[in-house]
């Protein structure tokens, strides 16, 4: 759990990055309709969650560094306590409890929102809000600013509007000790779920049954939701990078690619493992698998602060290209294949991404026009792959082999710590785990 103090410190830090006489307005997420009167399970907006740890929809966070206050001034807007709504839909924290729970200077009810926004936005020179987001919250803030602008007599229109998300996202990119502990917990749960799926797998099982095994393990270990749509691809389906159909029956002899991660207190894990449904790799599967593993290990051996993700990708691309040339799946010279990116025929995605409250987490990959070197406190994935679709003009034994191996790493002062160690990766360790006794 993240402490109340850490959330408040994040709010203070955010305000310190703003101009003097600023107000920050950060809306919570909203419930989304699934069909008719049913709804998707609520998932809080990651930025609002990062700043508050409050898991109800339709709230607002307001922060001010106006010179009339000696300290940062903090307020939130809450849904009202409403007996009928609480009987039918669920509990609401409400204004009174919210004021105390979040140690706020002021708390308001949703019904007061329009007036509160008019007063707060009108009294500051700068307004920071998610100005490029779709949705009613941004539209409402812009409408209030427009109204203030069109009432020149009161002369209360904020002088400048700013996008708040780059400030929050730069903060989110660097994880605190508490965040790293939560991400390690998510990784541990996810690792045990991948092991469970490997042990359950057998020829004739369905992809969605493996998905169910993973989600069961997530929930039993304390993570109710996956962090993203689980990918279970048997055989050729493994060559569809973000395959989520998960409907097919898996045939004896197929490889299975599972890319799945638990969400724990909002934080994502993102692990991929590839294994044979029958428990033993064919020689062709093993050859391709070991190239991907060697590529991943080459990156993990060298990655650390100062390296860019492109440089990490180049390390993997070289190992993959050498391996594919050895197998005859690529022809020509190593240097030509690297220069012309011939390997992209089989390794067509990036080497990894930032990971955090979102699986493809926020934060700029470039700074001042240059690719940004990794720094301590960033959490990333490293996930090389080789995908040989059944349509490729190659020897039959290689058709329909898709392999990705993905781990999660915390960048440290001296290198990187892999936090997803708990699930086997070598051919021998996977075959040993899958051996039915
Ligand atoms: N799970 C999506 C990805 O690995 O990027
Ligand atoms: Mn990933
Ligand atoms: Mn993944």
pLDDT tens sequence across 156-181: 777 799 999 999 999 999 999 999 99
pLDDT tens sequence across 58-82: 999 999 999 999 999 999 999 999 9
Ligand 1 atom having least distance to the Cα of 383? 4
Is the CB of 236 within 6 Å of ligand 1? Answer: no
pLDDT computed for residue 153 by the predictor:
57
pLDDT computed for residue 289 by the predictor:
98
406 catalytic per annotation: yes
pLDDT tens sequence across 82-112: 999 999 989 999 999 999 999 999 999 999 9
pLDDT computed for residue 154 by the predictor:
63
Ligand 1 atom having least distance to the Cα of 353? 5
259-278 average pLDDT score: 98
Is the CB of 179 within 6 Å of ligand 1? Answer: no
Are the CB atoms for 267 and 356 separated by under 8 Å? yes
pLDDT computed for residue 152 by the predictor:
62
353 catalytic per annotation: yes
DSSP string, 212-273: HHHHHHHHHTT--SBSS--EEEEGGGGGSTT-----PBPPTT-EEEEEE-BEETTEE--EEE
Among residues 353, 361, 398, 407, the one annotated as catalytic is: 353
Pocket test for ligand 1, best of 187, 352, 360 (most atoms within 8 A of CB): 360
Buried b or exposed e, range 20-47, using 16+ CB within 10 angstroms: ebbbbbbbbbeeeeeeeeeeeeebbbbb
Q: Angle CA(364)–CA(366)–CA(368) in degrees, nearest 5? A: 115
pLDDT computed for residue 165 by the predictor:
98
Are the CB atoms for 237 and 277 separated by under 8 Å? no
Are the CB atoms for 165 and 359 separated by under 8 Å? no
How would residue 17 be classed by pLDDT, with cut points 50, 70 and 90?
Answer: very high
Burial environment of residue 5 by CB neighbours within 10 A (0 to 12, 13 to 18, 19 or more): exposed
pLDDT computed for residue 148 by the predictor:
87
Mean pLDDT across the chain? 96
pLDDT computed for residue 184 by the predictor:
98
Is the CB of 56 within 6 Å of ligand 1? Answer: no
pLDDT computed for residue 208 by the predictor:
98
- The mean-pLDDT minimum among 152-166, 311-325, 335-349 falls in 152-166
- Supply the DSSP symbol for 41: P
How would residue 437 be classed by pLDDT, with cut points 50, 70 and 90?
Answer: low
Is the CB of 405 within 6 Å of ligand 1? Answer: no
Residue bearing the CA closest to ligand 1, atom 4: 270
pLDDT tens sequence across 211-245: 999 999 999 999 999 999 999 999 999 999 999 99
pLDDT reading at 329 higher than 60: yes
pLDDT computed for residue 117 by the predictor:
95
pLDDT computed for residue 410 by the predictor:
98
């Amino acid at each position: 759990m993240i402490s109340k103090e850490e959330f408040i410190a994040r709010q203070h830090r955010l305000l310190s990055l703003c101009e003097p006489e600023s107000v920050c307005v950060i809306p919570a997420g909203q419930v989304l309709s699934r069909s008719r009167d049913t709804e998707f399970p609520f998932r809080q907006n990651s930025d609002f969650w990062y700043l508050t740890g409050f898991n109800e929809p339709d709230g607002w966070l307001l922060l001010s560094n106006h010179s009339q206050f000696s300290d940062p001034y903090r307020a939130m807007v809450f849904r009202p306590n409403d007996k009928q709504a609480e009987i039918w839909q669920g509990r609401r924290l409400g204004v009174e409890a919210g004021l105390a729970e979040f140690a706020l200077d002021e708390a308001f009810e949703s019904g007061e929102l329009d007036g509160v926004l008019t007063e707060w936005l009108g009294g500051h020179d700068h307004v920071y809000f998610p100005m490029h987001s779709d949705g009613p919250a941004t539209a409402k803030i812009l409408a209030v600013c427009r109204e203030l602008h069109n009432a020149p007599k009161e002369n209360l229109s904020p002088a400048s509007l700013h996008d708040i998300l780059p400030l929050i996202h730069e903060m989110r990119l660097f994880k605190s000790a508490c965040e790293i502990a939560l991400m390690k917990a998510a990784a541990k749960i996810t690792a045990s779920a991948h092991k469970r799926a490997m042990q359950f797998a057998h020829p004739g099982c369905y992809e969605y049954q493996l998905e169910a095994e993973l989600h069961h393990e997530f929930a039993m270990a304390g993570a109710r939701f996956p962090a993203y749509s689980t990918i279970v691809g048997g055989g050729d389906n493994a060559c569809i990078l973000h395959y989520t159909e998960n409907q097919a029956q898996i045939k004896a002899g197929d490889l299975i690619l599972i890319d799945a991660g638990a969400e724990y207190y909002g934080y994502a894990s993102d692990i991929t493992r590839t294994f044979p449904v029958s428990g033993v790799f064919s020689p062709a599967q093993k050859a391709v698998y070991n190239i991907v593993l060697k590529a991943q290990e080459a990156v993990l051996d060298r990655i650390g602060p100062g390296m860019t993700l492109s440089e990490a990708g180049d390390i993997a691309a070289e190992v993959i290209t050498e391996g594919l040339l050895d197998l005859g799946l690529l022809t020509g010279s190593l240097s030509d294949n690297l220069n012309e990116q011939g390997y992209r025929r089989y390794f067509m995605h990036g080497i990894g991404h930032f990971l955090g409250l979102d699986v493809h987490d926020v934060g700029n990959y470039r700074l001042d026009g240059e690719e940004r070197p990794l720094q301590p406190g960033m959490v990333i994935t490293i996930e090389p792959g080789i995908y040989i679709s059944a349509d490729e003009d190659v020897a039959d034994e290689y058709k329909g082999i898709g392999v990705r191996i993905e781990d999660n790493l915390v960048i440290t002062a001296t290198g990187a710590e892999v936090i997803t160690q708990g699930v086997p990766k070598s051919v021998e360790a996977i075959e040993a785990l899958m051996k039915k006794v």
